[in-house]
Amino acid sequence: MNSELPKLIQGVAQLREILDAVRRRGRRIGLVPTMGALHEGHLSLVRASKAECDFTVASIFVNPSQFGPGEDLGKYPRTLDADLAKLAGCQTELAFVPANEDVYRAEHATWVEVGSVAEPLEGQCRPGHFRGVATVVLKLLNMVRPEVAYFGQKDYQQAAVIRRMVADLDVPTEIHVCPIVREPDGLAMSSRNAYLRPDARRRALVLWKSLRLAGELVDAGERNAGTIVEQMRGVILTAGDARIDYVALVDPDTLEPIEEITGPTVAALAVKIEDTRLIDNLVLNPKQQ
- Residues catalogued as catalytic: 42
Nearest to 122 by CA among 175, 71, 78, 180: 71
* CA 255 – CA 270 distance, rounded (Å): 14
With b for 16 or more beta-carbon neighbours within 10 A and e for fewer, the 154-189 pattern comes to bbbbbbbbbbbbbeeeebebebebbebbebeeebbb
What count of Cα atoms within 13 Å lies in the side-chain half-sphere of residue 180? 19
Assign 147 to helix, strand or coil: coil
Q: How far is residue 95 CA from its own chain's centroid?
A: 18
> What is the tally of helices (H) and strands (E) in the chain?
10, 9
Assign 74 to helix, strand or coil: coil
Query: Residue 50: exposed, middle, or buried by beta-carbon count in 10 A (0-12, 13-18, 19+)?
Result: middle
* CA 236 – CA 241 distance, rounded (Å): 10
Give the number of other CB atoms < 10 A from CB of residue 259. Answer: 10
Which string of DSSP letters, residue by residue, matches 201-249? Answer: HHHTTHHHHHHHHHHHHHHTT--BHHHHHHHHHHHHTTSTT-EEEEEEE
Q: Which residues pair with 32 in a beta bridge?
A: 58
